[in-house]
Amino acid sequence: MNIYVGNLSLETTEDDLRHAFEAFGQVRFVNIVRDRDSGESRGFGFLGMPSKDEAQTAINEMNGKDLKGQAINVEEGRRKTPRWTGGGRQQSGFGGGGRGGRGPGSRGPGGRDRREGFRGGERGGRRY
């Protein structure tokens, strides 16, 4: 079972978390989330315990307890859900959308509006 641990002191290490939770059973993994540029702790992390009963006991006992001078928040970890934008496309970064949209003004080959080729624009196709 995955466990979320929040409000961690910046001095808390993965070994500190492992040691605190091993009192309730086997700890499979510990991961403190860190800033990718500075490497400094972001104040939260996750750990995994194979036994759901042991994990639930650890959550109940450790929530609100002091660890390195901070009262930690402990709860069951939730799966990260993907963020979706309209049109059934998964957001890939800033602002979503990306290439290949189908709304008004979407550009096709050559930078022209896709509708031009079908309405007799420059290509002189059939009129609808």
| CATH for 49 | 3.30.70.330
pLDDT at residue number 104: 54
CA atoms within 13 A on the CB side of 31: 11
Q: What whole-number distance in Å separates Cα of residue 95 and Cα of residue 28?
A: 37
Total domains in the fold of the chain: 1
User: In this predicted model, what pLDDT tens digit does every residue of 10-61 receive, in sequence order?
Assistant: 999 999 999 999 999 999 999 999 999 999 999 999 999 999 999 999 999 9
Nearest to 29 by CA among 40, 41, 15: 15
- Phi and psi at 42, nearest 5°, equal -95, 5
Global pTM reads 0.62
- Phi and psi at 70, nearest 5°, equal -125, 140
User: In this predicted model, what pLDDT tens digit does every residue of 54-112 receive, in sequence order?
Assistant: 999 999 999 999 999 999 999 999 887 777 766 655 555 555 555 555 555 555 555 55
pLDDT at residue number 69: 94
Containing domain of residue 9, as a range?
Answer: 2-76
